[in-house]
Chain A
Amino acid sequence: MQNPPDAERAYAALLNQLQAERISHYRLVGIHSGGVWIAERLQKDLGLPGPIGELDISFYRDDYDQIGLHAEIKPTAIGFDVEGASILLVDDVLYTGRTIRGALNVLFDYGRPARVDFATLVDRLGRQLPIEARWVGTRIDLPKDEGLVLTRDADGPTGERFAFSVEPFVSVKISS
């Protein structure tokens, strides 16, 4: 298996780009799980207004008919008014674009935002929809049967740290 990208270096690159932008009025929305961690850290590092929103797209996936409902569905909570807000959507990996399509649908069921931008730690080749990130930490190409998994060490010696591992793609189902 290929070496995973350096998540800390990708985060630093992403933060660097965002610091150069005029986004102080943006509200952050992370996609579970990795996107929420990144959004939380960006909020601190950029000093953006809180609370951040968090999304789980399980109820909006286009492959529900094939895979059903996953074992654990995380909460969706948006503690601010989406109507008229400028939103920075954040995820750890952009791949096919299908997750982002689902996330946009969730957002619009909460209201009509003024605008939505998208930032990702990793842009992985293999898009199946016309969706791109405005800000990207790093780019990578991986075989189809491999997935990137983000982990977070919340209290490492140098503060919060992200790391990627490369793992085989699996779908989780609950049965007896």
Chain B
Amino acid sequence: MHNPQLNKNGELQHLLSIDGLNAAIVRHILDTASRFVGVSDRDVKKVPLLRGKSVFNLFFENSTRTRTTFEIAATRLSADVINLNIGASSTSKGESLLDTIDNLAAMHADMFVVRHAQSGAPYLIAKHVDHLHGPHVHVINAGDGRHAHPTQGLLDVYTIRHYKKDFTNLTVAIVGDILHSRVARSDIHALQILGVPEIRVIGPHTLLPSGLEQMGVRVFQDMAEGLKGVDVIMMLRLQSERMKGALLPSAQEFFKSYGLTPEKLSLAKPDAIVMHPGPMNRGIEIDSSVADGNQSVILPQVTFGIAIRMAVMSILAGN
């Protein structure tokens, strides 16, 4: 089957989704990232790999953390970074997405980092640049709709590997708003590729997509039951806009059933780690004492995210 992420030699040309990558490529990204972690501790926090290359951050949807970490990653690779505030630019004047891309490619862009509210937008861009601009232009999906957020999935498995070393004996629970979460989808694919034997998803019926079991995960609506004996707890952000509809009664109700409190955390293994992709809603999906507690690895996730994005960019630009 044709995989739009790979070039004719089977190497990563774009990073659009973790789904469809093999374990060798995922491990290569993680191993490469581990070598970039040390770069941030040096006198000179830069390596010259992407010197002379231009990376365009195209965020059609707001983001602070992801955009900033991509920007830091690109500058630590010595690339030039151009941030486009799309909302305030041409698209609001009626320019089409692909016209915007063509104009930027004509400015000699080497890489596009794309976030878009529409699932599949980065695919459309990748297909377009392959066709029109050739193999030297690369696309990274920085989150598209409900579909995928591959660098988040990669930094999450990097974090798990950092603390747990081996994937093949782990039980991992993903908790919260699975339905709207591109992070959950990317995490599940990444964990499966790396051989995690048991993945659990925990959430209220209204926030669990149908057919989840067919992804090979165990589904729990009772958080206490789902957290029993897990090694890793991955909390998801509850988007406040979801509260307005019929999906949830209230933030307090949600916290009562699905918020991660010290009591619920004590049901997991004593050395379980707690993760969150950010931004966190304290008191809605996670209790402050857990978020700041000694099992939390939420801030290391952010640090590792820079190394993962450096690895992805430098592998893509070299293929």
Chain A contact residues, CB within 8 Å of chain B: 56, 58-60, 64-65, 67-69, 71-77, 105, 108-111, 173-176
Contacts and interface: CB of A to CB of B under 8 A. Distances in A.
B315 A68 contact: yes
B6 A176 contact: yes
A176 B24 contact: yes
B32 A69 contact: yes
A87 to B, nearest CB: 15
12 contacts: A60-B47, A65-B318, A68-B317, A68-B319, A69-B315, A109-B46, A174-B11, A174-B28, A175-B9, A175-B24, A176-B22, A176-B25
A174 B38 contact: no
Contacts of A77: 38
A110 B38 CA distance: 11
A176 B10 CA distance: 5
Contacts, number: 66
A173 B32 CA distance: 13
B43 A110 contact: yes
Contacts of B47: 59-60, 109
Contacts of A65: 318
Interface of B: 3, 6, 9-11, 21-22, 24-25, 28, 31-32, 35-36, 38-39, 42-44, 46-49, 314-315, 317-319
Nearest to A111: B43
Given A69-B314, A69-B318, A174-B28, A105 B6 contact: no
A109 B39 CA distance: 9
Contacts of A175: 6, 9-11, 24-25
A132 to B, nearest CB: 24
A60 B6 contact: no
A56 B42 contact: no
Contacts of B49: 59, 64
Nearest to A83: B43
B35 A64 contact: no
Nearest to A65: B318
A68 B28 CA distance: 13
B142 to A, nearest CB: 21
A162 B113 CA distance: 47
Most chain A CB atoms below 10 A, which of B21, B25, B43, B46: B43
A73 B35 contact: yes
Given A65-B318, A69-B318, A173 B35 contact: no
Most central of A59, A71, A72, A108 by chain B CB within 10 Å: A59
B243 to A, nearest CB: 42
A137 B21 CA distance: 46
- A-B pairs with lowest CB-CB distance, top 10: A68-B318, A175-B10, A109-B44, A59-B47, A176-B10, A174-B28, A175-B11, A73-B35, A176-B22, A69-B318
